[in-house]
């Protein structure tokens, strides 16, 4: 089964087709680049980075530490 999808597969086939005109190959290649940028932007936007997870974990640990410290001092 094709993991890229029909549209992307057709663009890749067009780029590799030796009988295709250079202009058409360039258009297909440009479209693949545009799709790559869009996918990359999407992944970066929706990826939970390790930094964010570490910050959240550190904040939780600090809050728990402060709660425990304040609870023991009373």
| Residue whose tokens read 């094709």 | 2
Is 69 inside any structural domain?
yes
Mean pLDDT of 40-59: 79
Range of the domain at 65: 6-73
Specify the pLDDT at position 73: 53
Is 61 inside any structural domain?
yes
Is 1 inside any structural domain?
no
Q: Are 54 and 34 in contact (CB under 8 A)?
A: no
pLDDT at 1 over 60: no
For CA atoms 5, 6, 11, 14, the dihedral sign is: positive
Specify the pLDDT at position 69: 80
pTM, two decimals, is: 0.61
User: How many angstroms separate the CA atoms of 44 and 41, rounded?
Assistant: 5
Specify the pLDDT at position 57: 81
Number of structural domains, the chain?
1
Mean pLDDT of 54-59: 78
Tokens at 19, concatenated:
């009988």
Specify the pLDDT at position 33: 96
Hey, is 2 helix, strand or coil?
A: coil
């Amino acid at each position: 089964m094709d993991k890229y999808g029909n549209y992307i597969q057709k663009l890749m086939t067009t780029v590799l087709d030796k009988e295709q005109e250079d202009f058409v190959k360039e258009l297909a290649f440009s479209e693949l680049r545009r799709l790559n940028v869009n996918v990359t932007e999407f992944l970066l936007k929706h990826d939970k980075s390790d930094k964010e997870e570490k910050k959240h974990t550190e904040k939780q640990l600090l809050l728990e530490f402060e709660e425990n410290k304040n609870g023991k001092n009373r």
